[in-house]
């Protein structure tokens, strides 16, 4: 790996002047710098400017606010800056050897968290698996686990996260092809992503794989409804999940050609004023999130859960392979660990949930007050809200899958909290969790019923979950009854067919109008004694059908003050309102 100082523009060279008293992180941009000059430097292949110009639009707007820690002296991260040999393709033997080394180390040594994660069940196997053979075997076949793998220890298997594409043409498991696949089919007839998965499985020494299109009967609704709730177990018990992060369809494959120089960090050799020579490394601290969270694969609802539940993940991105387990995160550019990166992998947070009585009413909130008796722990409900908010940004081919694709996460929460799940919310915290709002309203869902109107799962588009009230609070509402009906009584996380909530509290009549002389909207509130008051407020709409323009008629609702004002009201306290719909 050669230094890149010769590939720096004048401004970037000036920004990295190592003086005898250390590196100066903050420097004033020269007066003659401009956006045009910046773009020209990137076009001229300045190592730093080109990296910055490749960021997303959101990051480009804030390129001058990058974390100054991205310029760090070598000795602060010395153990991380050990670089592996790389080849020009992510499917090369060298890359697969590196991936296998991560997998082997985790399987053998990460015993406390990765070996037996709390999401897994010893000896569990999916209903069906694909046997891809070993060595140079040319055929695969479909196995029924209870029949073909009975007796002996449960074998290891890999799972696959991939996109089906807009118009999938590849073979699927159907009632008519079940017998054919049981007998066996050619690996060479599989889409490229599936063929590449076989290559990875054989390098890992794993003979069995699980792919949804071949392990769930696609033209049998009964089979889908039986298998979909088991996705939690499928991914949690897999030896590793392989993600086709750079492909938009099964034909896209796992492996990519790449330019090796773009993977390693930039090395800048500088001398201090006293003559001492040192190295600095230019690290793209946003690389991980840009390649995963913004990819088309990882914006899919089902994949959100797959990443959450699987203890080990191997991501094949557009230019390198990334590794994620419960002990850490690695990539080919940093095979010993990724510096300047704190993973949002949600399962890490859940492993530190409070134990025993602290899961319920004994947990103290930051204000020093106990949660309501028997309520879900504040720590747990806050993490749930964060997960739902992130998940709501995902997309679905079938929006009716919204609760199905989250059911594995819900089951995990159920097991660690012993709470009652009600259509995406938790019964003991129902008043807190009803306060969700839609940040970008979309058209009213036209498909099959999926959840009651008070559930975030009933709408499309991003939502923001309201966090539980803190401090000295007293609810103004009483929950009389919460009921959710589902297709299967034994599994309340999926197949919702109806539901209702009965509340007791003081209700008021309110209507929204727009003041033609002012930009903001007005909420007119009529009290029981006939008095009226007007306050400025923003309406949070569940769908885009309701309008509050100048021509829109005034619409009235029955509302309640939402729902935990302080016992001692403070001046200028903001009261929130909840629109109640049937």
Q: Which of 416, 439, 473 is a domain's end point?
A: 473
Q: Which helix (H) or strand (E) holds 497?
A: strand 496-505
Secondary structure of the chain: what % helix, strand, coil (to 5)? 30, 20, 45
Give percent above pLDDT 70 in the chain.
70
Alpha carbons 46 and 9: distance in angstroms, whole number? 6
Asked if the model's pLDDT at residue 249 lies above 70, the reply is: yes
295-314 pLDDT tens trace: 889 889 899 989 888 889 99
Alpha carbons 213 and 470: distance in angstroms, whole number? 46
Q: Which of 473, 496, 527 is a domain's end point?
A: 473
Q: What is the DSSP letter of 327?
A: T
Q: How far apart are the first and last CA of the chain?
A: 65
- Both 246 and 317 in one domain: the answer is yes
Does residue 219 sit within a domain?
A: yes
| Residues 134-144, mean pLDDT to the nearest whole number | 94
Largest distance between two CA atoms of the chain = 84
Q: Mean pLDDT, the chain, as a whole number?
A: 78
Does residue 495 sit within a domain?
A: no
Buried b (16+ CB within 10 A) or exposed e, 374-393: ebbbbbbbbbbbebbbbbbe
- Both 51 and 105 in one domain: the answer is no
Q: Contact 311/236 with Cβ under 8 angstroms?
A: yes
Alpha carbons 264 and 479: distance in angstroms, whole number? 57
- Both 101 and 242 in one domain: the answer is yes
Long-range residue pairs from 175-184, CB within 8 A, at least 24 positions apart, any chain: 175/217, 175/219, 175/220, 178/142, 178/217, 181/141, 181/142, 181/214, 182/141, 182/142, 182/144, 183/141, 184/139, 184/140, 184/141
- Both 162 and 24 in one domain: the answer is no
Kindly report which listed range (122-131, 167-176, 183-192, 480-489) carries the lowest average pLDDT score.
Answer: 167-176
CA torsion sign, 213 to 219 to 223 to 229? positive
- Both 35 and 144 in one domain: the answer is no
Tokens in use for 388? 């739902």
- Both 174 and 154 in one domain: the answer is yes
Closest CA to 408 of 493, 497, 312: 493
Strand partners, 161: 243
Q: Contact 484/432 with Cβ under 8 angstroms?
A: no
* pTM, entire model: 0.74
Q: Which of 457, 473, 489 is a domain's end point?
A: 473
Does residue 296 sit within a domain?
A: yes
Alpha carbons 233 and 485: distance in angstroms, whole number? 24
Domain of residue 355: give its range: 350-473
- Higher-confidence residue: 324 or 538? 324
Q: Contact 323/331 with Cβ under 8 angstroms?
A: yes
- Both 357 and 247 in one domain: the answer is no
- Both 167 and 53 in one domain: the answer is no
419-437 pLDDT tens trace: 999 999 999 999 889 889 8
| Residues 150-156, mean pLDDT to the nearest whole number | 88
**Helical segments of 310-361, H only:** 346-350
Instruction: Please report which confidence band the pLDDT of residue 235 belongs to, taking 50, 70 and 90 as the band edges.
Output: very high
pLDDT of 545 reads: 66
Looking from the CA of 528 toward its CB, the CA atoms found within 13 Å total 4
- Both 275 and 296 in one domain: the answer is no
Instruction: Please report which confidence band the pLDDT of residue 364 belongs to, taking 50, 70 and 90 as the band edges.
Output: very low
pLDDT of 507 reads: 74
pLDDT of 110 reads: 77
How many domains does the chain fold into?
Answer: 3
Cα 22 to Cα 5, 17, 19, 25, 280: the distances in Å are 19, 9, 5, 9, 12
Alpha carbons 252 and 296: distance in angstroms, whole number? 13
Does residue 483 sit within a domain?
A: no
Alpha carbons 136 and 185: distance in angstroms, whole number? 14
State the Cα angle at 55 between 24 and 301, rounded to 5°.
130
Kindly report which listed range (26-35, 433-442, 484-493, 504-513) carries the lowest average pLDDT score.
Answer: 26-35
Strand partners, 107: none
Q: DSSP characters for 164-182?
A: --SS--S----TTTHHHHH
- Both 125 and 206 in one domain: the answer is yes
Q: Contact 418/315 with Cβ under 8 angstroms?
A: no
- Both 233 and 379 in one domain: the answer is no
pLDDT of 38 reads: 81
- Both 273 and 293 in one domain: the answer is no
| Residues 385-399, mean pLDDT to the nearest whole number | 90
Q: Which helix (H) or strand (E) holds 57?
A: helix 57-60
């Amino acid at each position: 790996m050669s230094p890149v100082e010769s590939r720096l523009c004048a401004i970037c060279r000036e920004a990295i002047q190592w003086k005898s008293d250390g590196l100066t992180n903050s420097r004033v941009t020269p007066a003659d710098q401009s956006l045009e000059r910046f773009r020209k430097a990137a076009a001229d292949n300045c190592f730093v400017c080109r990296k910055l110009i490749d960021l997303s639009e959101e990051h480009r707007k804030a390129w001058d606010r990058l974390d100054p820690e991205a310029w760090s002296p070598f000795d602060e991260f010395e153990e991380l800056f050990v670089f592996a040999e790389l080849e020009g393709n992510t499917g090369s033997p060298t890359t697969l050897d590196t991936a296998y080394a991560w997998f082997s180390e985790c399987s053998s040594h990460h015993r406390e968290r990765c070996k037996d994660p709390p999401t897994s069940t010893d000896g569990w196997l999916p209903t069906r698996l694909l046997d891809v053979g070993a060595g140079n075997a040319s055929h695969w076949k479909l196995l029924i686990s209870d029949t073909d793998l009975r007796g002996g220890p449960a074998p290891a298997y890999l799972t696959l996260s991939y996109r089906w594409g807009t118009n999938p043409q590849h073979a699927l498991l159907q009632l008519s092809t079940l017998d054919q696949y049981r007998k066996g089919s050619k690996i060479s007839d599989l889409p490229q992503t599936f063929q590449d998965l076989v290559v990875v499985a054989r390098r890992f020494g794993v003979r069995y794989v699980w792919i949804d299109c071949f392990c769930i009967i696609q033209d049998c609704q009964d089979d889908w409804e039986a298998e979909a709730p088991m996705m939690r177990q499928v991914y949690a018990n897999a030896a590793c999940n392989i993600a086709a992060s750079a492909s938009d369809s099964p034909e896209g494959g796992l492996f990519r050609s790449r330019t090796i120089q773009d993977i390693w960090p930039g090395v800048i050799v500088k001398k201090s004023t006293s003559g001492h020579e040192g190295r600095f490394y230019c690290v793209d601290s946003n690389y991980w999130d840009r390649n995963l969270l913004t990819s088309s694969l990882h914006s899919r609802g089902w994949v959100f859960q797959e990443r959450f539940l699987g203890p080990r993940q191997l991501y094949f991105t557009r230019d390198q392979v990334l590794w994620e387990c419960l002990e850490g995160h690695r990539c080919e550019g940093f095979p010993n660990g990724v510096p300047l990166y704190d993973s949002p992998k949600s399962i890490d947070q859940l492993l530190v949930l409070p134990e025993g009585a602290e899961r319920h009413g004994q947990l103290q909130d930051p204000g020093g007050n106990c949660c309501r008796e028997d309520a879900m722990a504040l720590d747990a409900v806050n993490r749930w809200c964060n997960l739902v908010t992130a998940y709501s940004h995902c997309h679905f081919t079938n929006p009716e899958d919204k609760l199905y694709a989250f059911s594995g996460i819900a089951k995990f929460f159920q097991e660690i909290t012993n709470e009652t799940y009600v259509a995406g919310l938790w019964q003991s915290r129902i008043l807190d969790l009803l306060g969700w709002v839609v940040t970008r309203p979309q058209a009213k869902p036209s498909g099959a019923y999926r959840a009651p109107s008070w559930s975030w799962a009933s709408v499309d588009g991003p939502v923001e979950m309201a966090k539980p009230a803190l401090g000295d609070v007293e609810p103004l509402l009483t929950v009389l009854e919460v009921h959710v009906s589902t297709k299967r009584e034994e599994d309340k996380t999926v197949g919702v067919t109806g539901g209702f909530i009965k509340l007791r509290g003081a209700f008021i009549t309110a209507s929204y109008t727009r003041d033609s002389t002012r930009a903001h909207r007005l909420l007119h509130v009529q009290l029981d004694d006939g008095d009226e008051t007007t306050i400025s407020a923003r309406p949070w709409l569940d769908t885009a059908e309701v309008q509050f323009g100048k021509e829109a008629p005034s619409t009235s609702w029955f509302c309640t003050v939402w729902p935990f004002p302080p016992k001692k009201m403070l001046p200028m306290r903001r009261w929130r309102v909840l629109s109640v719909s049937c």
